[in-house]
């Protein structure tokens, strides 16, 4: 018999992830501050949760998918939080992208109640969340990972056990460095092409099959060329992740000069009102400097 799962957080990622759990046949109790999203999931067969405490009391596994460390702390240990309702032997799986040291702190406190915890952040954005093909990076006890594997498999196509608690988020931070720097390099290159009088769409087609090709290039270049910046992953959330990257780098003594540079670019765009756009809108930073737009239209005033 499938274990009953609680899912807290129905944002851009959480809602499709929840839907995929329902499609896989898991009984689901959902909770979110957005009532419309809760009702949508209830219409698909989920049960409505009335608080994190209520969700935890009614399930064996509680998944959280929230913006950042403060929200995860509040949902787990705040008033009417998970810790008030969860039973000994149950498991919390935090799929948010948060600071690794916070994951370790939360796991230690939950362990005092006999509750297990995994950190299992994801990569792939909204598209792969909808498809159920996310990459999932997991930290915690390996036997807990093996137990939860079928649940994760309903949401992802690549699950990797990375080590003890916090290792999932360390891995996700490494992922976010590579994605951010890739988007910056791609943006720089496409603006160079446009400025040099070469169709950036042709440049994209020419380089994607070579060493410069990447998942980031294939996913983001077509959207940039079409001027589509609807968020699959919001700029402000990547800023949050890079803040966690830089804090963790300072804690462990890892120099991060490229990450620091891209962070400053994103902060400029945030101050110019682009925080809610997709992180692919990083191209706007280069466009504003060069007074050129990566599009068939070219120069703008």
Give pLDDT tens digits for 216-254.
999 999 999 999 999 888 999 999 999 999 999 999 999
From 106, 135, 141, 109, select the one nearest 122 (Cα to Cα): 135
- Which of 15, 53, 128, 172 is catalytic? The answer is 172
| H or E element, residue 139 | strand 134-139
Question: Cα separation of 164 and 150, whole Å?
Answer: 20
Alpha helices in the chain (DSSP H): 14-23, 35-43, 52-57, 69-77, 82-85, 100-111, 125-131, 142-153, 167-195, 200-207, 215-225, 235-252, 257-271, 283-290
Locus of tokens 């409505």:
48
Q: Is 172 a catalytic residue?
A: yes
What is the per-residue pLDDT for 297?
Answer: 55
Integer-rounded Cα radius of gyration of the chain: 20
Q: What is the pLDDT of residue 20?
A: 98
Report the alpha-carbon distance of residue 271 to residue 133 in Å, rounded: 33
In sign, the C-alpha dihedral spanning 123, 129, 134, 139 is positive
Question: In terms of Cα–Cα distance, which of 57, 83, 71 is closest to 9?
Answer: 71
What is the 3-state composition of the chain as percent helix, strand, coil, each rounded to the nearest 5? 55, 15, 30
Mean pLDDT, range 290-298, rounded to an integer: 81
Q: 295: pLDDT confidence band, cut at 50, 70 and 90?
A: confident
Other C-beta atoms within 10 Å of 92: how many?
Answer: 26
Instruction: Domains for the chain: give ranges and CATH numbers.
Output: 5-165 (3.40.50.720), 170-290 (1.10.1040.10)
- So what's the pLDDT on residue 118? 98
- Give 13-64 pLDDT, tens digit per residue: 999 999 999 999 999 999 999 999 999 999 999 999 999 999 999 999 999 9
The dihedral through the CA atoms of 283, 16, 81, 113 has a sign that is negative
Task: Name, in order, each residue with C-beta under 8 angstroms of 26's C-beta and a sequence gap of 6 or more.
Answer: 2, 3, 4, 5, 151, 154
Site of tokens 């040291």: 101
Q: Which helix (H) or strand (E) holds 129?
A: helix 125-131
């Amino acid at each position: 018999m499938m274990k009953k799962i609680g899912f807290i957080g129905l944002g851009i990622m959480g809602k499709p992830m929840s839907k995929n759990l329902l499609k896989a046949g898991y009984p689901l109790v959902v909770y979110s501050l957005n009532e419309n999203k809760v009702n949508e999931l209830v219409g698909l067969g989920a049960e409505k949760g009335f608080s994190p405490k209520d969700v935890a009391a009614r399930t064996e596994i509680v998944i959280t998918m929230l913006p950042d460390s403060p929200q995860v702390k509040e949902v787990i240990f705040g008033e009417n939080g998970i810790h008030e309702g969860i039973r000994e032997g149950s498991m919390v799986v935090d799929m948010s992208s948060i600071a690794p040291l916070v994951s370790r702190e939360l796991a230690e406190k939950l362990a005092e109640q006999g509750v297990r915890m995994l950190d299992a952040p994801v990569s792939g954005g909204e598209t792969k969340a909808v498809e159920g093909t996310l990459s999932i990076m997991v930290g915690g006890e390996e036997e807990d990972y093996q137990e939860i594997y079928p649940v994760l498999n309903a949401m992802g196509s690549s699950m990797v056990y990375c080590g003890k608690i916090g290792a999932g988020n360390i891995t996700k931070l490494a992922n976010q460095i590579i994605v951010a720097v890739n988007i910056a390099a791609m943006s720089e290159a496409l603006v160079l092409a446009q400025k040099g009088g070469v169709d950036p769409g042709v440049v994209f087609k020419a380089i994607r099959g070579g060493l410069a090709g990447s998942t980031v290039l294939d996913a983001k270049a077509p959207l940039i060329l079409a001027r589509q910046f609807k968020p699959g992953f919001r700029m402000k959330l990547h800023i949050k992740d890079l803040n966690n990257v830089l804090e963790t780098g300072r804690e462990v003594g890892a120099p991060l000069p490229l990450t620091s540079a891209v962070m400053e670019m994103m902060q400029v765009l945030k101050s110019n009102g682009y925080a809610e756009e997709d992180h692919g809108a990083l191209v706007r930073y280069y466009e504003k400097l060069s007074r050129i737009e990566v599009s068939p239209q070219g120069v703008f005033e």
